[in-house]
């Protein structure tokens, strides 16, 4: 898998740009100070439009961003038996899963990894690292591809975009409320209209709340990983899926994906404690245990 962290970071960036732009036309939406506080109904509408808009713009950009971040090269015409096997395997699994044929790509990286992303089940990208092709046998690689195809078939990117849209909406509302309190209560702005304190504090609050709220998206991502593992097991076989995860566990090379792409990879992280809240993948031991329990 390789979809989440880049998506979340892109979403935060897009949301900030939209927020700054939208702040200039807040009066148009009716989001303005009125006696007694905000027009909360208008604020909720404004936040939902902005929140879901930012999320789906990020989703629309996801495939392009993934290619740029990893340097993935789409296989237009297979060169050699390895690329032909890769394309044929993805085509077969996509047909089994009932989705359109994704673009298939390879990117240069020594670590064992792969990812899938895209705006819909029929407009997706599946990419694998050169490290995966070198280190895994065909059975293990087949299972990894099945895992990625399952992400596409399960509509995980759209699902997470919807979740992110809901999260964005609440972040925008809360950040505006915080901005209002800072402007009116702390800075004691008594002028007509909202002051600079509102705009600065609401943007800062939006960044902080956006990062904290990403833990919700990451929790959902971890649940989808278990489901994708199960899908990979159905497409390639449970034994192959377990073997692929055990191969990942045995690999000691540092992930060579750009940091912003790390959450989209098949391998995921191994951190615990507070850091676990920001993990897009469950620990490999947990994933292997889940699959073994299914045997």
Separation CA 160–CA 77 (nearest Å): 32
Q: Which residues are annotated as a binding site for Zn(2+)?
A: 147, 151, 225
pLDDT of residue 60: 87
pLDDT of residue 145: 97
φ/ψ (deg, to 5) at 115:
-155, 160
pLDDT of residue 198: 82
**15 — alpha (psi -120 to 50), left (phi > 0) or beta?**
alpha
Q: Can you tell me whether residue 229 is helix, strand or coil?
A: helix
118-159 confidence digits (pLDDT tens): 888 999 999 999 999 999 999 999 999 999 999 999 999 889
Percentage of the chain beyond pLDDT 70 is: 78
pLDDT of residue 229: 96
**pLDDT band for position 1 (cuts 50, 70, 90):** very low
34-90 confidence digits (pLDDT tens): 344 567 777 888 888 888 888 888 888 888 888 988 999 999 999 999 999 999 999
pLDDT at residue 224 above 50?
A: yes
Separation CA 295–CA 286 (nearest Å): 15
> What one-character DSSP code corresponds to residue 273?
G
| From 108, 148, 253, 259, the catalytic residue | 148
Residue 252 to residues 110, 133, 255: CA-CA distances in angstroms?
11, 16, 9
Angle at CA of residue 233, ends 73 and 277, nearest 5°? 75
142 annotated active-site: no
pLDDT of residue 185: 80
């Amino acid at each position: 898998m390789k979809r989440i962290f880049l998506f979340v970071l892109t979403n935060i960036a897009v949301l900030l740009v939209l927020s700054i732009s939208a702040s200039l036309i807040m009066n148009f939406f009716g989001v303005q100070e009125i006696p007694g506080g905000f027009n909360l109904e208008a604020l909720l509408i404004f936040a939902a439009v902005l929140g879901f808009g930012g999320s789906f713009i990020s989703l629309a950009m996801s495939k392009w961003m993934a290619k740029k971040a990893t340097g993935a090269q789409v296989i237009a015409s297979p060169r050699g038996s390895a690329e032909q096997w890769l394309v044929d395997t993805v085509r077969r699994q996509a047909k089994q899963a009932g989705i359109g044929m994704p673009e298939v790509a390879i990117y240069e990286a020594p670590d064992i990894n792969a990812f899938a992303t895209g705006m819909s089940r029929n407009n997706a990208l599946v990419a694998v690292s050169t490290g995966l092709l070198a280190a895994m046998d065909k059975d293990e690689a087949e299972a990894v591809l099945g895992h990625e195809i399952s992400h596409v078939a399960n509509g995980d990117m759209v699902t997470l975009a919807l979740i992110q849209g809901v999260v964005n909406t609440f972040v925008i509302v809360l950040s505006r409320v915080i901005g209002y309190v800072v402007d009116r209560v702390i800075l004691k702005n008594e002028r007509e209209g909202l002051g600079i304190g509102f705009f600065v504090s609401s943007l800062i609050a939006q960044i902080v709340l956006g990062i904290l709220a990403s833990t919700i998206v990451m929790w959902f991502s971890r649940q989808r990983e278990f489901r994708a593992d199960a899908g990979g097991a159905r497409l390639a076989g449970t034994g192959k899926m377990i073997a692929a995860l055990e191969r990942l566990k045995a690999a000691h090379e540092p992930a060579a994906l750009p940091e912003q792409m790390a959450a989209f990879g098949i391998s995921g992280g191994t951190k615990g404690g507070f850091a676990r809240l920001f993990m897009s993948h469950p620990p490999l031991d947990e994933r292997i245990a889940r699959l073994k329990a299914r045997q």
